[in-house]
Structure 1
Amino acid sequence: MRDDRNILPITNAAKPAGNHSIVMEGEMVVGCPVDDTLVLVMGIGNFNLEHVAVFLNGDPALSLKATLVCWPLKNASPAGTHGFVAVLPTGILRRASLKTIMFQHKAKVTRYTFANRGASVGDLIAMIADLAGANLPSVIDGLVEALISGPIGRKKLAAITVLLQAGARSDGCVELIGGSDEGEIFVQGWAQDLTPSVTRLFISGRASSLAECVISVFARPDLNDQASGFAGLLLANETVEASDIERLLFRGRRGWRFTEVYDRRLIVGSRETPSHVRAILPRVRGSTEILLRMRSAANRFDGTETVSGLPLPVRAGIDNVLRVDGSGLLVSGWLLDPDGHVESVKLRRHRGECQLDGNWTRIDRPDVTAEFDNRAPFNAGLDPNRHAHGFVAFAPELSGDSTAPFYLELCLSDQRRAFLPLTPIRVTSREAVVRQIRAIDPNAWALRHVVDHQLVPLLRNVSRPAPEIFGVADVGAFDDIEGPALIIGIDERVEEVGPLIALLALDPETRGLPVVIAGATDVIDRIGVRVRRLAQFYKLSVRLVSASGSEDLYDALEVGARAVSCETVVFLAASLLPRNKGWFNKLLTAYEMRKNCVLSPTLAYEDDSIRWAGTWVAGAHSDRALISRYAGYPIDAVTGMATTEVATATFECCIMPREALFSVDGFTRGYMGTHEKGLDLGLKLKQSGLKSYWLPSAQMLGSDDIIVSEKASTVALIERIDRQIFDARWARSFGKENTVKMETPV
């Protein structure tokens, strides 16, 4: 750790506090570094000034004005009549050491040499105490006043606190401390020298801090006539916990004082503090500003709902609060405010906040109009043509205490506030989006705004971790088999995996492979028993891998790849079946000719029409960056074509180097479906230098990545959301004259 005193030359390790005779000679001074730009210089002389010209190290270029704090010596010395401490800015030194200092007043110049080693603030106070005697408090008072005049950093704040601890006098005690969600700390106690004011004070405790303070006072019959009770609000420059405060150091009418925190003080949390402020508020005295601040503190969230009790025609309700880990909260509800009394709506939690009404989406809620029309306090009646009372809002995750509750704060035009407690439900990003889409009429005018301004930002913010292996169970001698591992991914679309396992077992090219079957924990639990029976029956080597945090097919494939150590993996969606024999050897042979690539077969529907036959860069007039050129063609149209480089492969079925997947951090989170999620990974691999190929001669059969339980309108919105996220993520890559270079078919 750096010792700031070493800006002074060091030859001896003298202890200044115990041996201050070096300054009594009148030719030497002791330096006390406060921070990197400020030094306190102590000595004795024959002057009693407030400001003086100073020259450092005998260099006329190093001249400045210094503030002096002087006092008459307790014991006069031939070398001087007064002690002094100069507050010396040292920025002009540019890291040079202090060697000499000259003070010039009128025509008289006094030269001093710095002692070999600097002093700490504590040492300096001890030396001043020896020389100043009863003048110590006034000296410290002068030093503190000089130090607080400029910017106050951590080191300077620590020095001021040490000075005040030595010079301030005891005055009363703090009996109650309460926290708040807005950073202010409520204090209540008694003191003699504390007056109603808005001022600055210092907090001493586990860490020093400077705070703005609003102090009100009230009568305390249990105290003498000179003392009174006080109630105040502290807002520190940085976060201070109520339990860390030990003293409050303030400037009273008769100098600096400190109020000790009583050992048996009551510490209350942010939910209890407002009730304590409300209880003392009728008794306190202070200026209008002080009383307004105190009333505001009394009207803070204490865990209860207060909107329904407002005398104004304002009511609100919450439908859902969905919390997505790694993203934020999706809040939906309604606010009925026909006369515009609500100025802002904020989502709050501890010391974090987010204003919702700046970017929320209003939606029609005629049910709210019908419920409150002509009911108190809406006796004047509501406009039958206005129903946009509903709202949907996304808010990024708030900082603050993770155990603190969430709530809505309604700020009203008359300075009042009302509160709605929230109870978030933890859901996946996909579940949050689907639930919100289902809750809105597909024909609603606001649906597009909800998608663009609430749901898409929610998904863009997702930073959830990659899915992880939850459990592994082997059937057969899995670790003893060499060769590329066949990773079969299963998601909720697949009800029966038996036919695929049977086909793999009956195919001589795949029956001897190490097979990994991976999926979410609930999926593996559902199919695990049947898979084990089939593997044992066909004598296959199978590794069952259950995954935590897996939301779709590609998450399952990624976890399956984590469960093996071979160099090459073959991905296969459990919803696909081989169209003909030899598909595996065709993939493997084409891959070995190129190495270090991603290679996929053709995917077709059961009617032999093409579902996927390569992904290509679209033309300049297309609304999409990438397209599937042969989609919908009969499969015979591509059967005779040669292996072709494409923009991206399909990861529903492909062969690739295992490490390439993890070199780009796997699949990107935040997509609802797998189509754009696969394109995203394909482009990341291409950026890393890995080429993608399409092998027309190998063919697989399967359906689209669609959950049959979803409505067509929901599926269309999900596809649109994924497109927006993908396009925003890769817009720059396809801007200007960007193209993807591909080889000639071979």
Structure 2
Amino acid sequence: MKDRSTKADITAAVLLDEDTLMLFGAIDQPLPAESVVLLDGTADGRFRGGGWTDGAGERWFLATISVGGLAHMRPSRIEILDGAGGRLSLPRLSNVRTNPAHMVSALGEAQPQSLGAALDVAVLLIAEDCVSAEADRHRRLLAGLAQEASRPDGFAEVLGRFRDGALMVQGWSHGFPAGDHRVLVESDDLRVHAAAAAPFHRPDLPDTAAGVLAVLEGPAPSPGAIRRIHFRADDGWRHLAIFEHRQILADGVAAAHARDMLGQLQGEPARRVVATAVAARYNGVETVSQLDVPVRIGLDLAVRVVGAGLFVSGWLLDPTRAVRAVTLKGPGLAVRIDADWSRQSRRDVSEAFAHDPVFAGRLLPGDDGHGFIAFAREPAGLPAGADFHLELALADFPAFLPLPCPPAAGEAMRRMLGAVNPDSPSIDRIIANHLGPMLQTASAAALGKAAPATLHAMGRTVKSPRVSVILPVCDGREDVDLNLARMANDPDFAEAEILVVAGERAHERLAGMVRQAAGFYRLAVGFIEASLAADPFEAIAAALPHARADRVLLLSPSVLPTERGWLSALERAIRRPNAVGAAALAPVMASPTLLYEDHSIRFAGIVAVEGPGGAVTYERRFAGYPRDWLREQEASAVDAASADCALLPRDLLARALAERGRFLGADLKGLDLCLRVRAAGGSCLWLPKLRLVAVDEQSRSTRDPRLERISALVDQWGFAKHWKASIAA
């Protein structure tokens, strides 16, 4: 098949977004409604077109070309596949604009009598794109055409919004179409809405006009912001103007008002369409329990993390599979949660309804998978106090369940975690699809709020400290006097400042003990109150702004030195990175070897091990081995040092903490910190011949072990997602 020759003229070309170009012009033969477009014979994309013939018999068209990254291309040849194997060539584009007003002006000059037909085509081509927040130029183009092509035809006199964002309009018109169709609602911008409408008799109107009741699918703009409602009548585009003394119904009233109007509507098909649309509107009332079909639903928990979404757990009893979809709805939100929810066994639900006559003979023994867990992401800009509900789609009409969503405070989060069984065979999917995204967003929001910290100077003063020692205390201990005594007995710490950080679970007697020890040992101590710091890493972040030295020593209260001079050894190591193969001049985070009390190895560096298929696992080297295994070892670069005892530059630590990971617990924060140190341009160093004891203490945590397990699983998922690696067991 040879290429078809065509005579065409491109009158205007406007870039609607980064990937979409709209063309207007004249052509001597029909264009396909939808096809493939080729740019310079290689880059391909989607072509959509439509046209009309003017009074002089000339054929005009509007078309869109959609190609990824089109805004950065300058094609010299545009070809459209015609469906028969041939190619139809369009002229080269010479003047592409970005202002939609240029397209409207060109249409008005070239085809003033066909603006209605042009608007028909434009709605067909780009209406579906107007729901996107990025589709500003699409909406401006439709708005410009509507203002030029649409003529007044009646008024909207009563407006009100349903709870789900849909709009009710009551007024009068000569030609507003009955049944299902689409309208353009003009406010600050212009949006396309599906509408269900029916006429009703108004004795105050001439025979050629009638009252109109319409339901416009949401989300609709505020009724007070609406300027016109454009619609396609039999003889062209018309609009309802907004009556000067319009009535705007209070929130929640629209549903009752529309139901009261149903009996006045004319034309059974149109009345039925509007009745169905009204019945589909949520009015704040639970209606599932009123169903005469065997469907019931219950809510265990609904939690919202503002900016992330909603976590919902509950049960749905539907033995006859009457429910076609379960959708979580709110203002500007409609997410079908049954598409990927996780089901759970709920034998208690089966037993509770076993003798209910509605379910008699329909519940099968052992079929107890009624529970569900779901997470619905929310769009940007959703109000903090928004109302939500579940919509159950049935054969004839939907049913509703309100969703009270408490804020994601500590107790709500604990209940959410408690709703999940960590031993479920689908736990990986539950975490990846539901818990993980929500909880990590919640923890990220918490990271943005630095724990308030108050500094209290104790003991003597050091003008220019050699090092800032950060000693985080978040586990209820009150015996850090032993740590202070060890440092007081080491000349390396004579000119150090010691920052003792009292975190969330710090003992009330800790400050008094630290003050007494600082005075007795003549140490320069800063006691930092950071009561919102939930773990040592949050405590370190709270203390860092108070550190005055250029180098910071992170030191866990569980780490006890066995000899003097170890700080000097760390300082020498970070001043000589090239000696161990680190990058020249790279800042270094250095750690000693940490031993258990029986002198077996607790920490000897963490390294990345690549397995089959390129999978990376981080492993603790020599953990549990006798210390004699380190006899021949030399200082070496590792993938991660130990945050329990590490010396590093203060600015390097600040950069790493600025982008620290989003974890629920502290177990992976140390490894994550080290990887972020390396991502910030640093390196990690392990010193095998420098050895300190790290006491293996009993956990002082009072958290529910079940919650601990779920938190750990979520953190492992988040770590693997960010670093594309796992943790060795």
What interval of TM-score do these two structures reach, taking the shorter chain for normalisation?
0.7 to 0.9
Q: Per the alignment, in what secondary structure is the counterpart of residue 363 of structure 2? A: coil
1:597 alignment partner, one of 588, 591, 607: 588
Partner residue in 2 for 1:677: 669
User: Which residue in the other structure is 1:403 paired with?
Assistant: 385
1:143 pairs with 108, 112, 115, which one? 115
Q: Give the direction of change, closer, same or farther, for the CA distance of 1:244–1:445 in structure 2 (3 Å limit).
A: same
Residue 485 in structure 1 maps to residue 478 in structure 2: no
Out of 141, 160, 180, the residue aligned to residue 145 of structure 2 is 160
**1:396/1:211 Cα in 2 relative to 1: closer, same or farther (>3 Å)?**
closer
Mapped pair 1:709 → 2:702: yes
1:515 aligns with 2:515: no
Tell me, in whole angstroms, the C-alpha distance in 2 between the residues paired with 1:51 and 1:643: 77
Q: Is the 8 A contact 2:285 2:400 kept in 1?
A: no
Q: 1:327 to 1:517 in 2, by over 3 A?
A: farther
What secondary structure sits across from 1:172 in the alignment?
Answer: strand
Determine whether 1:653 maps to 2:645.
yes
Q: Is the 8 A contact 1:198 1:290 kept in 2?
A: no
**Cα shift at 1:194:** 2.9
Deviations 1:570-609 (A, max 9, x none): 1122343334433323322322333721111222334433
Q: Is 2:217 the partner of 1:218? A: no
Q: Distance in 2 between matches of 1:295 and 1:497?
A: 71
Residue-by-residue CA offset, 1:384-416 (whole Å, 9 max, x unaligned): 423222222233344433321222222224442
Map 1:236-255 onto structure 2 (within 5 A): 240-252=221-233
| Pairing 1:8-407 to 2, within 5 Å after superposition | 92=91, 94-95=93-94, 142-150=114-122, 151=125, 153-164=138-149, 168-169=151-152, 171-179=154-162, 181=164, 184-221=166-203, 223=205, 225-235=207-217, 240-252=221-233, 257-268=238-249, 271-286=252-267, 288=269, 291-292=272-273, 294-324=275-305, 327-380=308-361, 382-399=363-380, 400-407=382-389
User: Structure 1 residues 240 and 720, CA, compared in 2 at 3 Å: closer, same or farther?
Assistant: closer
8 Å contact from structure 1 (residues 243, 267) kept in 2:
yes
Contact 2:660 2:676 in 1 (8 A): no
Quote the offset at 1:655 in angstroms.
0.7
Question: How far apart, in 2, do the equivalents of 1:539 and 1:388 lie?
Answer: 66
Match of 1:475 among 443, 457, 463: 457
Corresponding residue number in structure 2 for 1:729? 722
Distance 2:54 2:461 in 1: 83
Report the alpha carbon displacement of residue 374 of structure 1 after superposing the two structures with TM.
0.5
Q: TM-score with structure 1 length normalisation?
A: 0.72
Taking structure 1 as reference, are residues 426 and 620 closer, same or farther at Cα in structure 2, changes over 3 Å only?
Answer: closer
Report the Cα distance in structure 2 between the residues aligned to 1:512 and 1:250, rounded to whole angstroms.
80
Q: What is the root-mean-square deviation in Å for CA atoms of aligned residues? A: 4.5
Q: Distance in 1 between matches of 2:642 and 2:22?
A: 65
2:541 partner SS? helix
| Structure 1 residue 235 displacement after superposition | 4.8
Alpha-carbon distance change, 245 to 646 in structure 1, aligned in 2, over 3 angstroms: same
Q: In the alignment, is the contact (CA less than 8 A) between 2:159 and 2:223 conserved in 1? A: no
Partner SS state of residue 359, structure 2: coil
1:50-97 residue CA offsets vs partner (Å, 9 max, x unmatched)? 9999xxxxxxxxxxx996679xxxxxxxxxxxxxx9989899573469
8 Å CA contact retained: 2:157, 2:247: no
Aligned to 1:615: 606
Return closer, same or farther for 1:398/1:179 CA change in 2, 3 Å cut-off.
Answer: same
Tell me how far 1:342 sits from its aligned partner.
Answer: 1.8
Q: Is the 8 A contact 2:617 2:725 kept in 1?
A: no
Which one is further off, 88-97 or 260-269? 88-97
Contact 1:347–1:355 at 8 Å: present in 2 too?
A: yes
CA pair 644-207 structure 1, distance change in 2 beyond 3 A:
closer
Is the contact between residue 66 and residue 89 of structure 1 (CA under 8 Å) also seen in structure 2?
no
Residue aligned with 2:671, SS: helix
Q: Which residue of 2 aligns with 1:555?
A: 538
* Whole-angstrom distance in 1 between the partners of 2:248 and 2:13: 34
Mark the CA change 1:39 to 1:601 in structure 2 (over 3 Å): closer, same or farther. closer
1-structure distance, mates of 2:647, 2:664:
24
Specify the code of the residue in structure 2 equivalent to 1:559: A
Query: What is the DSSP-based 3-state SS (H/G/I as helix, E as strand, rest coil) of the residue aligned with 2:564?
Result: coil
Contact 2:596 2:694 in 1 (8 A): yes
Structure 2 CA distance for partners of 1:315 and 1:566, relative to 1, 3 Å? same
Flag the 1:376–1:528 CA change in 2: closer, same or farther, 3 A: farther
Find the aligned partners of 1:221 and 1:525 in 2 and give their Cα distance: 80
The TM-score with structure 2 as length reference comes to: 0.74
Question: SS where residue 668 of structure 2 aligns?
Answer: helix
Distance 2:160 2:14 in 1: 32
Cα 1:233–1:656 change in 2 (3 A) is same
C-alpha separation in 1, matches of 2:699 and 2:24:
74
How many angstroms apart in 2 are the aligned matches of 1:695 and 1:498? 27
- Which moves more between the two structures, 368-377 or 648-657? 368-377
Once the two structures are superposed, what CA deviation does each residue of 1:325-384 show, in whole Å capped at 9, x if it has no partner?
564433222222222222222222212133222222222222222222202433446334
How far apart are the structure 2 equivalents of 1:544 and 1:223?
82
State whether residues 476 and 507 of structure 2, in contact with CA within 8 Å, keep that contact through their aligned partners in structure 1.
no
Moved more, 725-734 or 572-581: 725-734
Q: CA separation in 2, counterparts of 1:547 and 1:660?
A: 22
CA separation in 2, counterparts of 1:281 and 1:95? 56
Question: 151-160 vs 649-658, which deviates more?
Answer: 151-160
Structure 2: distance between partners of 1:459 and 1:211: 35
The CA deviation string for residues 591-631 of structure 1, in whole angstroms up to 9 with x for no partner, is 23337211112223344333222113347489971222221
C-alpha contact 2:195 2:214 (8 A) present in aligned 1: yes
Deviation at 1:656, TM superposition (A): 1.1
* Number of equivalenced pairs: 636
- Mapped partners of 2:676, 2:142: distance in 1: 50
CA pair 95-441 structure 1, distance change in 2 beyond 3 A: closer
State the identity as a percent: 27
Residue in 2 aligned with 1:427? 409
Distance 2:543 2:197 in 1: 63
Once residues 609 and 646 of structure 2 are traced to their aligned partners in structure 1, the CA distance between those partners, rounded to angstroms, is: 22
Q: 1:603 to 1:408 in 2, by over 3 A?
A: farther
The alpha-carbon distance between structure 1 residues 521 and 631, as it changes in their structure 2 partners (threshold 3 A), is: closer
Q: Distance in 1 between matches of 2:14 and 2:654?
A: 47
